[in-house]
Amino acid sequence: MKKFYVTTPIYYPSGKFHIGTAYTTVLADTVKRYKQLRGYDTFMLTGTDEHGQKIQTVAEKQGKTPQEHVDEMAKMAKDLWSLMDINYDFFLRTTDVKHVEIVQKIFEYFLQKGDIYKGHYEGLYCMPCESYFTESQLVDGKCPDCGREVKLMKEEAYFFNMKKYADKLLKYYEEHPDFIQPEYRKTEMINNFIKPGLEDLCVTRTTFDWGIKVPSDPKHVIYVWLDALTNYLTALGYMSDDDTLFKKYWPADLQIIGKDIARFHLIYWPIFLMALDLPLPKKILVHNWIMMKDGKMSKSVGNVVYPEKLISRYGLDATRYYLLREMPESQDEIYTPENFISRYNSDLCNDLGNLVNRTVSMVNKYFEGKVPEYNGTPNEVDKEFEEYTEKQVDLIEKTIDNYEMSPALQEIWSLISRTNKYIDETRPWELAKNEETEKLKSTMYHLIENIRKIGIILLPFMSETSKNLLNQIGIPEELQTWDNLKKYDGLKDIKVIEKGQPLFIRKNVEEEMEYLKN
């Protein structure tokens, strides 16, 4: 069986997750469900990135120990993923003992190999904020965070020799054009970071202690990114007593990340893997951000949208649909309540919901719920409809294979629209009135066939809705497969339910705007 290993970033557990952070995970979950449907043996990893000064500070502000804080937050994350029906196989916490031990082994290995060396870190330091800044980050020569004086400081630190690997990385990019998607992210890395000269990376800190200690020099803690990135390996038992999963699933087939962490994943991560002599992931997919009209979602601005708010009123599938449909590859998406409701009412209720409802009631009305069998010879109209559908399903499949979920959903909705149009073209009610029974049978058959195809294709995106849809048109489990998706001969002895249930109920726009106001 072919395997498929997909990862999300591990999240900073500093506060509740908003719809932007949830997007990465919904996307990974959708890919995993799709690959499962295509017969892959899949493994999906997510988790929490629990070390570092930021977490220590947040915990202290709340009067908790860092451990108490991250325990609560990891639970919060798991509860959210359970609410969102995220099908991960492993949830990694960087405070897990197993992870900690392997990060230490990796650090010592790099040290022994000479890839990590001891030196001095020099920079402008803000004491109260415990942070280093570069000259250009300062605001009026002062700390950009608190506005206080900064001091030139020098401390002992360990560095990873990135320079040594720069050419090798460039060569790798060149020889593996599919490694980074979309391609412009690669160009950004080359032009902004590699060509100007890759700096060695400071991989330890001594200014706080909430982190993994360097075993041979425990006053240093390991830099949170070296700790965090290795999670993709430690989750599989790399370097541990049981590395069965590692042997089976590494290299990752797809690693999904947001644009803000591109540099860490497209430069440092491949270099760490090269230093470990490990194969690189097959693809790193970088997505853009969900923004608000007034910029970034931020607690202090008060414009944050939480997934729970959307799910409790519109359901999980509508929320997932919105997130996946709206995120283009080329730019950030702006969330607006108007847009959310419009997608809900027009795409989900009108286009998809009505198609299913109309069809179920026609099959009940004209054939007592029994789907007519196909005679195998399409008339002119049906032939064109079949040809369109076959091509469209191919296109949808290619688009999903390329992990382009928003364009894929657009194409799925073209198929839904075309199927709705087929009802208008064939006018079943007139066929019934004129007793053109053969034509009417063929029309009903084709409608149910297309709805079956749409239901199957939508399974990875909106699984509950798809299952409900497939149940309403009476499709047994064995026909809910991708294999016979492209054929027009799959339905025998099918009976739709007696009374269709609306998949989505139309909402009043004004009432919803009121609800969605922050």
Binding site for ligand ME8 (CB under 6 A): 9-12, 20-21, 23-24, 49, 228-229, 231, 257-258, 260-261, 289-290, 297
The distance of closest approach from Cβ of residue 301 to ligand ME8 in the complex, given in angstroms and rounded to an integer, is 13
Q: State which residue has the least CB distance to ligand ME8.
A: 258
Q: Which is nearer to ligand ME8, 198 or 228 (by Cβ)? A: 228
CB of 99 to ligand ME8, least distance (A): 12
For residue 17, the minimal CB distance to ligand ME8 (Å) is: 7
Give the residue with the Cβ less far from ligand ME8, 56 or 231.
Answer: 231
How many Å apart are CA 303 and CA 295, to the nearest integer?
9
| CB 458 to ligand ME8: min, Å | 23
- Residue 315 beta carbon to ligand ME8: minimum distance, rounded to whole angstroms: 21
Looking at the Cβ atoms of 224 and 415, the one nearer to ligand ME8 is: 224
Query: Residue-wise over 35-55: b if at least 16 C-beta within 10 A, else e?
Result: bbbbebebbbbbbbbbbbbbb
DSSP 8-state assignment for residue 277:
T
Between residues 308 and 351, which has the closer beta carbon with respect to ligand ME8?
308
Helix, strand, coil % over all residues of the chain, rounded to 5? 50, 15, 35
Q: How far apart are CA 240 and CA 101, in angstroms?
A: 9
- What 3-state DSSP class applies to 481? coil
Smallest gap from residue 279 Cβ to ligand ME8 (A): 18
From CA 359, how far away is CA 344, in angstroms rounded?
20
CA atoms lying within 13 Å on the CB side of residue 364: 14
In this structure, what DSSP letter does residue 212 have?
P
What's the min distance (Å) between Cβ of 6 and ligand ME8? 14
Nearer to ligand ME8, 10 or 405 (CB): 10
| Residue nearer to ligand ME8 on the CB measure, 10 or 273 | 10
CA 22, CA 76: separation in Å to the nearest integer? 13
Nearer Cβ to ligand ME8 (229/415): 229
> In the complex, what is the shortest distance from the CB of residue 55 to ligand ME8, in angstroms, rounded to a whole number?
10
Q: Which is nearer to ligand ME8, 182 or 369 (CB)?
A: 182
Instruction: Give the count of beta carbons closer than 10 Å to the beta carbon of residue 463.
Output: 18
Residues 181, 487: Cα–Cα separation, whole Å: 32
Asked whether the beta carbons of 486 and 450 are under 8 A apart, the reply is: no
φ, ψ (nearest 5 deg) of residue 238: -55, 135
Helix (H) or strand (E) holding 269: helix 269-275
Q: How far is CA 83 from the centre of its chain?
A: 16
Residue 460 contacts residue 37 (beta carbons within 8 Å): yes
- Is the CB of 21 or the CB of 181 nearer to ligand ME8? 21
Task: Give me the torsion for CA of 277, 281, 285, 286, rounded to 10°.
Answer: -20
Contact between residue 161 and residue 275 where contact means Cβ atoms under 8 Å apart: no
Minimum Å gap between C-beta 21 and ligand ME8 is 4
